[in-house]
């Protein structure tokens, strides 16, 4: 590898002293302070130890510290002389040579090159005497520290190093060590996927499990000892989908999501991060599931921790049954709040509440028939499965409430739209799986469902235990959960 010929030398000494217990050699105070500040302020430090050999004989031990502080990358080399045979002159290391890349900007390096040191297209060579290992009782220091600093986050790779004893024509001890390398060529990469409500908590995105909007998703590059560098962040759209289109070097990446939905803490992420190693092409189908803390949400709804402004099932049953033919009939009956046209419009709003969901609430027929179909659900007459009927009563009640501008309230008393939308997404995911009517483009892979989704019946494959949990939380959301039939 080659280096720019016009590197500027910064003469700073970073001392690493190996001393005996009896004697201490104090380094230059200012330089030591600078070294301490550099090491302590870095957010990432990785360290590795290497041997430089001639045949099988170890001539030097090199400890390499890669230090990145968010702005600069320093490669620090602590070279320890381990030559124990020969006369004193042949045992002294006089040169430490290091291969450097030509692709990087001019580095700063320490210590100075000395009269016989060099910096050229082959790398850098320090002329700095490193004494032989001390004899018994000697206080000689047999190590020195060399460092190279680059602007930016420079990756680490394998480079060649050499320690020469007995002068420039003496014995050579060499081997590979960690050092700065050229970043990979940038390529266009896409990372795409979704954040969704894992309604059955099986850790997989199944048919009918819909997305969560307004979730922050962050893309990081990985290097060194699990070191993260943020590339960019994005917010999921109304269907819960995200897509990163970035120009980056191929390599290792991490995608992270928050632990909870932030605006609805009852939705907790099952996994908050996923790693992708040695990426060289687009990565798709990256899904992060959130599960609903049903017990806590139900408890907080019933205890008024979560304040609600909703109407029970019996209210909506009455309104559907008595939807007036005209405004006069509504005016004459103070308990009737909707004309027939208004009720039909409300049911059409329910049908379009979630943009990617066409079912379960696409009511049959038009006009009065649409109203009758909704009534058959609220009166538990549409489905043969008792548990499914109970669940669908509560889900339709919740949908009518939200479509009419009712639901859970935020602390300031306004309608909490993100909360209400999330609970409906959860409910509809359970419903379409139970009905066997999830969108075709989200077909559940064979064998992917967990024990909560077993067995078959005319309604679908969702187990009663899952439907019962959904009924419980939706009942609390609706205020009473009672089923009105008159």
CATH number at residue 148: 2.60.40
In this structure, what are the phi and psi dihedrals at residue 73, rounded to the nearest 5 degrees? -115, 125
Model pLDDT, residue 221: 92
Whether residue 456 is found in the same domain as residue 353? yes
Whether residue 338 is found in the same domain as residue 437? yes
Whether residue 119 is found in the same domain as residue 214? no
Q: How far apart are CA 13 and CA 126, in angstroms?
A: 13
Model pLDDT, residue 46: 82
Whether residue 245 is found in the same domain as residue 302? no
Q: Report if residue 485 sits inside a domain.
A: no
CB atoms within 10 A of CB 205: 24
Cite the beta strand spans of 310-413 per DSSP E.
Answer: 407-408
pTM for the model stands at: 0.57
Structural domain count, the chain: 3
Around 440, how many Cα atoms within 13 Å sit in the side-chain half-sphere? 0
- Which domain-ending residue is among 180, 212, 232? 180
Whether residue 233 is found in the same domain as residue 354? no
DSSP, collapsed to helix, strand or coil, labels residue 197 as strand
Q: Report if residue 264 sits inside a domain.
A: yes
Q: How far apart are CA 124 and CA 170, in angstroms?
A: 18
- Which domain-ending residue is among 226, 257, 292? 292
Q: Report if residue 313 sits inside a domain.
A: yes
Q: Report if residue 106 sits inside a domain.
A: yes
Show pLDDT as tens, one digit a residue, over the chain (486 residues): 333 333 323 223 233 333 333 333 333 334 333 334 333 333 467 889 999 999 889 999 999 999 998 889 999 999 999 998 877 778 899 999 999 988 888 789 899 887 778 888 889 999 989 998 887 555 568 999 999 999 888 888 889 999 999 766 689 999 999 999 887 778 899 999 999 988 878 888 877 788 888 899 999 999 766 788 899 999 999 889 999 999 888 889 999 999 998 888 899 999 999 999 989 899 999 999 999 899 999 999 999 999 999 999 999 999 999 887 677 777 788 888 998 999 999 999 998 887 655 566 788 888 889 999 999 999 999 999 999 999 999 999 999 999 999 999 998 899 999 899 889 988 988 888 888 777 654 433 333 222 222 222 233 444 555 889 999 999 999 986 433 333
CB 10 within 8 A of CB 112: no
Model pLDDT, residue 394: 96
Q: How far apart are CA 374 and CA 347, in angstroms?
A: 8
Model pLDDT, residue 204: 84
Q: How far apart are CA 187 and CA 198, in angstroms?
A: 33
Model pLDDT, residue 202: 81
Whether residue 193 is found in the same domain as residue 115? no
Whether residue 450 is found in the same domain as residue 383? yes
Whether residue 34 is found in the same domain as residue 171? yes
Q: Is 340 exposed, middle or buried (0-12, 13-18, 19+ CB in 10 A)?
A: middle
Q: Report if residue 11 sits inside a domain.
A: no
Whether residue 383 is found in the same domain as residue 280? no
Q: Report if residue 24 sits inside a domain.
A: no
b/e per residue 457-485 (b: at least 16 CB within 10 A):
eebbbbbbebbebbbbbbbbbbbebebbe
Q: How far apart are CA 185 and CA 20, in angstroms?
A: 48
Model pLDDT, residue 323: 84
Q: Report if residue 446 sits inside a domain.
A: yes
Q: Report if residue 75 sits inside a domain.
A: yes
- Which domain-ending residue is among 260, 292, 324? 292
CB atoms within 10 A of CB 244: 21
Whether residue 404 is found in the same domain as residue 349? yes
**Domain span including residue 201:** 186-292
Whether residue 383 is found in the same domain as residue 285? no
Model pLDDT, residue 225: 65
CB 347 within 8 A of CB 372: no
Give the CATH number of the domain where residue 266 resides: 2.60.40.10
Model pLDDT, residue 24: 34
Model pLDDT, residue 162: 95
Whether residue 320 is found in the same domain as residue 408? yes
């Amino acid at each position: 590898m080659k280096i720019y010929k016009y590197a500027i030398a910064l003469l700073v000494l970073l001392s690493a002293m190996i001393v005996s217990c009896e004697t201490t050699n104090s380094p230059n105070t200012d330089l030591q302070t600078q070294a301490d500040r550099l090491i302590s302020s870095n957010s990432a430090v990785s360290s590795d130890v290497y041997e430089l050999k001639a045949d099988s004989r170890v001539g030097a031990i090199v400890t390499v510290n890669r230090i990145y502080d968010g702005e600069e990358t320093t490669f620090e080399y602590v070279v320890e002389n381990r030559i124990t045979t020969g006369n004193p002159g042949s045992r002294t290391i006089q040169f430490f040579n290091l291969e450097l890349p030509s692709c990087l900007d001019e580095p700063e390096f320490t210590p100075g090159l000395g009269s016989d040191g060099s910096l050229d297209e082959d790398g850098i060579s320090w002329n700095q005497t490193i004494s032989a290992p001390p004899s018994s009782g000697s206080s000689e220091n047999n190590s020195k520290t060399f460092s190279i600093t680059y602007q930016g986050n420079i990756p680490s790779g394998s480079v060649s190093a050499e320690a020469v004893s007995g002068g420039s024509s003496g014995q050579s001890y060499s081997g590979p060590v960690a050092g700065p390398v050229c970043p990979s060529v940038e390529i266009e990469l896409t990372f795409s996927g979704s954040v969704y409500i894992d309604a059955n908590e099986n850790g997989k995105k199944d048919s009918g499990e819909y997305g969560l909007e307004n979730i922050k998703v962050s893309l990081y590059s990985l290097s060194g000892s699990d070191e993260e560098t943020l590339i960019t962040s994005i917010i999921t759209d109304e269907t819960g989908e995200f897509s990163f289109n970035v120009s980056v070097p191929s390599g290792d990446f991490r995608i992270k999501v928050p632990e909870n939905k932030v605006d609805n803490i009852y939705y907790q992420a099952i996994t908050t991060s996923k790693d992708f190693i040695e990426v060289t092409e687009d990565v798709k189908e990256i899904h992060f599931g959130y599960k609903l803390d049903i017990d806590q949400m139900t408890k907080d709804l019933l205890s008024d921790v979560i304040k609600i402004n909703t109407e029970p099932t019996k209210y909506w049953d009455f309104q559907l049954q008595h939807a007036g033919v005209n405004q006069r009939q509504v005016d004459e009956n103070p308990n009737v709040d909707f004309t027939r046209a208004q009720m039909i419009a409300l049911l059409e709003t329910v049908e379009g509440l979630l943009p990617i969901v066409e079912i379960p609430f696409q009511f049959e027929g038009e006009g009065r028939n649409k109203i009758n179909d909704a009534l058959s659900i609220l009166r538990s007459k549409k489905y043969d499965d008792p548990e499914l009927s109970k669940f669908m009563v509560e889900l339709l009640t919740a949908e009518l409430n939200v479509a009419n501008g009712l639901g859970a309230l935020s602390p300031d008393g306004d309608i909490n739209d993100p909360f209400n939308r999330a609970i409906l997404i959860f409910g509809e995911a359970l419903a379409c799986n139970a009905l066997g009517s999830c969108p075709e483009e989200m077909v559940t892979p064979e064998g992917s469902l967990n024990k909560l989704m077993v067995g078959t019946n005319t309604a679908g494959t969702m187990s009663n235990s899952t439907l019962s949990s959904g009924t419980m939380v939706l009942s609390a959301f609706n205020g009473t959960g009672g089923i009105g039939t008159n």
